[in-house]
Chain A
Amino acid sequence: MMASASIVTPSEPGLFERLKVNRNWLGFWFMVPAMIFLLFFLAWPLLLGMWMSMTDMRIGRGGSFVGFENYQFLLDDRDFLRATAFTLTYTAVASVFKFAIGLYLAILLNNNMPFKAFIRAIVLIPFIVPTVLSAVAFWWIFDTQFSIFTWLLQQWGFLGKDQFINWLGDPFLAQCSVIFANIWRGIPFIAITLLAGLQTVSPSLYEAATLDGATGWQRFRFVTYPLLTPIIAVVMTFSVLFTFTDFQLIWAMTRGGPVNATHLMATLSYQRGILGGRLGEGAAIATAMVPFLLAAIMISWFGLQRRKWQQGENND
């Protein structure tokens, strides 16, 4: 009757209503926009690329599924194997030098010296200059006739006045040249990040170590270095990933030449897939980079796990 209509029982909120206010789900809702973004722009292209690597797709023509045929083909492809080997060498050599020089610079910059801010700004320059622009500079630096290195060697008497070195024309020298360029470009990132890390180390630790009788080298070895390892792990992971996937610098400097000697996996993939039109094969080369990258990430993941001394309550 009438009475029953007037009694308002507070209805059970619907499932969605409850999920909207539940604390555990609240965090999830906040993540949704970022997740959609990531799915759309990262996961989707990655999956699409992997799918493409299993087709014989070409530009302008949809392909059909061919399984692992592209990969089988690549395993016998000397250029691909060479690019893989060079990518690994490129990454390894450049990373080692970038780390050593970057750390050295960071320590140097951490000292008190005149014009500190100015010198720090200068160190950042290679990082700020657009890659393509720096590549143009490197053309000149490694130009057959006008190279400053050739000039220096001539000045110092290692080379005759009419002798020239074909830096970017000789496969081995070209490889060295691009690695050199990559090192030059990569140092500021590492130096500045490590400098930031160095500045978090309390000066009184150095003073305590000095009083404990440590020499400069021992202070570095037993205080600075261990305290810096977490940051070193992060910055070197990034550096390795960036170097391994490098494209711009090579493309602007050598396009992978001479005789494909300086092709990285990324440039080879682009050349085959986009320029050569064989999308399936290009995608396969790109996908072949994934295991290497995953391995690098795994290594740093385990290296990065919080060290025992970092755990526990904060003391600052």
Chain B
Amino acid sequence: MASVDVRGVHKAYGATKVIHGVDIAIKDGEFVILVGPSGCGKSTLLRMIAGLENITGGEVAIGDRVVNNVPPKERDIAMVFQNYALYPHMTVADNMAFSMKLRKAPASEIKERVDKAAKILGLEKLLDRYPRQLSGGQRQRVAMGRAIVRDPQVFLFDEPLSNLDAKLRVQMRTEIKELHQRLKTTTIYVTHDQIEAMTMADKIVVMHDGIVEQMGAPLELYDRPENLFVAGFIGSPAMNFIKGAIEKGGFRDMQGTLWTIGKTPAGSVGKKAVMGLRPEHIMLDPKGLKATVHVVEPTGSETQVVADVGGQTLTCVFRERISALPGEAIMISPDKTVTHLFDAESGKRLH
């Protein structure tokens, strides 16, 4: 096991710059998730750590060793690919044993390790099958088995669950998390699914267009997003953004509605800003603002409502059941303690 340090890493394909200086420090045994929209450079970063891509600038260190010029096989990392990349002509057992066979490990050791990995992943009965004869979830487990057998310093996962159906994804999520708690191997995991990131990570790194927007524990990112991008990216359904200006005792939006919010940052009165309101932080309140209901989507445990407050469209999530029909009005108000304010120009958090 080892720490991983990414220091000022750049990547360019010819003239196209894709990663513009990324710094990430990953502690030994940490489960770090890189998350961000498609094309932001997550896979590229992961592949640079693995050694499958050259590093254009900066440094990547595994443990104490800078690995920029160390070939992949000497970095002691194992990677699980999005398409699993199982060798189709080898049985499950051979797939898992391949790396050990290459370094001529004794047969008894190979068998012992493969059996152990198979047991951890519940693959005992499938060892003689070929990848084609497995379901998606089983293949996914074999891919993990191949990584586990190696007993590497670092696990790298590139969107390992994106080919699975929703239910299996939830199940595998738990399994990967459990596996990590058991093996305590440093893990870097790429996904563009923020739910995956929130539920699994010790630390989330939000990336966007080749830079790191924010890094931190899942709830930290949820509670105190540092900028508009992170605020909009983390949380589902996404945060509502309302443009306007800060006033004494509240926030007035462009349509003129005054929202009462908690304390405003010092010296910010009159400043143009964007207020962020999470859908789940809007409450029914008879003394609140009048909202005209557009769409009601009950999910059973909660109800999602799209409503209009003085020309401003809002998504709200209520624990209560809403019986209002489209066109009818409900009274709402934001939870004053958890409103977010961002600078209208820079998008940075104001408080």
Chain A residues within 8 Å of B, Cβ to Cβ? 202, 204-205, 207-214, 218, 222-223, 226-227, 307-315
Question: Among B77, B87, B130, B132, which residue has its beta carbon within 8 angstroms of that of A211?
Answer: B77
Residues of B within 8 A of A204 (CB): 81, 83, 85
Q: Which residue of B lies closest to A227 (CB)?
A: B89
The 3 closest A-B pairs by CB, nearest first: A212-B99, A204-B85, A213-B73
Taking a contact as CB atoms under 8 Å apart, the answer to whether A207 and B98 are in contact is no
Nearest Cβ in chain B — how far from A221, in angstroms? 10
The B66-87 residues at the A interface (CB cut-off 8 A) are 72-73, 77-79, 81, 83, 85, 87
- A sample of 7 more A-B contacts (CB under 8 A), given A211-B77, A223-B87, A227-B88, is A208-B81, A208-B146, A211-B79, A212-B146, A227-B89, A309-B131, A311-B132
Residues of B within 8 A of A208 (CB): 79, 81, 85, 87, 146
Taking a contact as CB atoms under 8 Å apart, the answer to whether A211 and B73 are in contact is yes
The CA-CA distance from A209 to B88 in the complex, in Å, is 12
Q: What are the interface flags for B124-154 relative to A under an 8 Å C-beta threshold, 1 for contact and 0 otherwise?
A: 0000001111000001000000100010000
Nearest Cβ in chain B — how far from A66, in angstroms? 53
Residues of A within 8 A of B133 (CB): 311-313
Question: Among A202, A210, A313, which residue has its beta carbon within 8 angstroms of that of B73?
Answer: A210
Question: Among A205, A210, A213, A309, which residue has its beta carbon within 8 angstroms of that of B132?
Answer: A309
Chain B residues within 8 Å of A, Cβ to Cβ? 50-52, 72-73, 77-79, 81, 83, 85, 87-90, 98-99, 102-103, 130-133, 139, 146, 150
The CA-CA distance from A301 to B139 in the complex, in Å, is 31
Nearest Cβ in chain A — how far from B46, in angstroms? 11
Residues of B within 8 A of A223 (CB): 87
The CA-CA distance from A311 to B129 in the complex, in Å, is 11
Taking a contact as CB atoms under 8 Å apart, the answer to whether B99 and A213 are in contact is yes
- From DSSP, what is the main secondary structure of chain A's interface residues? helix
Taking a contact as CB atoms under 8 Å apart, the answer to whether A205 and B85 are in contact is yes
Taking a contact as CB atoms under 8 Å apart, the answer to whether B85 and A212 are in contact is no
Residues of A within 8 A of B73 (CB): 210-214
Residues of A within 8 A of B90 (CB): 309
29 contacts between A and B (CB under 8 A): A204-B83, A204-B85, A207-B52, A210-B52, A210-B73, A211-B50, A211-B51, A211-B72, A211-B73, A211-B77, A211-B78, A211-B79, A212-B99, A212-B150, A213-B99, A213-B102, A222-B98, A222-B102, A226-B89, A309-B88, A309-B90, A310-B88, A310-B132, A311-B130, A311-B132, A312-B132, A313-B133, A314-B132, A315-B139
Residues of A within 8 A of B88 (CB): 227, 309-310
The CA-CA distance from A204 to B50 in the complex, in Å, is 13
Taking a contact as CB atoms under 8 Å apart, the answer to whether A309 and B130 are in contact is yes
The CA-CA distance from A37 to B88 in the complex, in Å, is 40
Residues of B within 8 A of A212 (CB): 73, 98-99, 102, 146, 150
Taking a contact as CB atoms under 8 Å apart, the answer to whether B132 and A202 are in contact is no
Q: Which residue of B lies closest to A214 (CB)?
A: B102
Taking a contact as CB atoms under 8 Å apart, the answer to whether B79 and A309 are in contact is no
The CA-CA distance from A227 to B78 in the complex, in Å, is 23
Nearest Cβ in chain B — how far from A313, in angstroms? 6
The CA-CA distance from A218 to B88 in the complex, in Å, is 16
Taking a contact as CB atoms under 8 Å apart, the answer to whether B102 and A207 are in contact is no
Residues of A within 8 A of B98 (CB): 209, 212, 222
The CA-CA distance from A198 to B204 in the complex, in Å, is 39
Taking a contact as CB atoms under 8 Å apart, the answer to whether A213 and B103 are in contact is yes
Q: Which residue of B lies closest to A207 (CB)?
A: B52
Taking a contact as CB atoms under 8 Å apart, the answer to whether A313 and B132 are in contact is yes
Residues of A within 8 A of B150 (CB): 212
Question: Among A218, A307, A314, which residue has its beta carbon within 8 angstroms of that of B102?
Answer: A218
Q: Which residue of B lies closest to A204 (CB)?
A: B85
The CA-CA distance from A26 to B310 in the complex, in Å, is 69
Residues of A within 8 A of B103 (CB): 213
Residues of B within 8 A of A209 (CB): 87, 98
The CA-CA distance from A223 to B150 in the complex, in Å, is 19
Residues of A within 8 A of B130 (CB): 308-309, 311-312
The CA-CA distance from A210 to B102 in the complex, in Å, is 11
Residues of A within 8 A of B99 (CB): 212-213
Nearest Cβ in chain A — how far from B13, in angstroms? 13
Residues of B within 8 A of A227 (CB): 88-89
Question: Among A207, A214, A222, A312, which residue has its beta carbon within 8 angstroms of that of B81?
Answer: A207
Question: Among A202, A211, A307, A308, which residue has its beta carbon within 8 angstroms of that of B83?
Answer: A202
Residues of A within 8 A of B72 (CB): 210-211
Nearest Cβ in chain B — how far from A211, in angstroms? 5
Q: Which residue of B lies closest to A226 (CB)?
A: B89
Nearest Cβ in chain A — how far from B332, in angstroms? 49
The CA-CA distance from A227 to B139 in the complex, in Å, is 19
The CA-CA distance from A307 to B130 in the complex, in Å, is 11
Residues of A within 8 A of B51 (CB): 211
Nearest Cβ in chain B — how far from A214, in angstroms? 6
Taking a contact as CB atoms under 8 Å apart, the answer to whether B102 and A205 are in contact is no
Residues of A within 8 A of B78 (CB): 211
Residues of A within 8 A of B146 (CB): 208, 212
Residues of B within 8 A of A313 (CB): 132-133
Residues of B within 8 A of A213 (CB): 73, 99, 102-103
The CA-CA distance from A210 to B50 in the complex, in Å, is 10
The CA-CA distance from A16 to B78 in the complex, in Å, is 66
The CA-CA distance from A204 to B160 in the complex, in Å, is 13
Nearest Cβ in chain B — how far from A250, in angstroms? 39
Q: Which residue of A lies closest to B79 (CB)?
A: A211
Nearest Cβ in chain B — how far from A307, in angstroms? 7
Nearest Cβ in chain A — how far from B51, in angstroms? 8
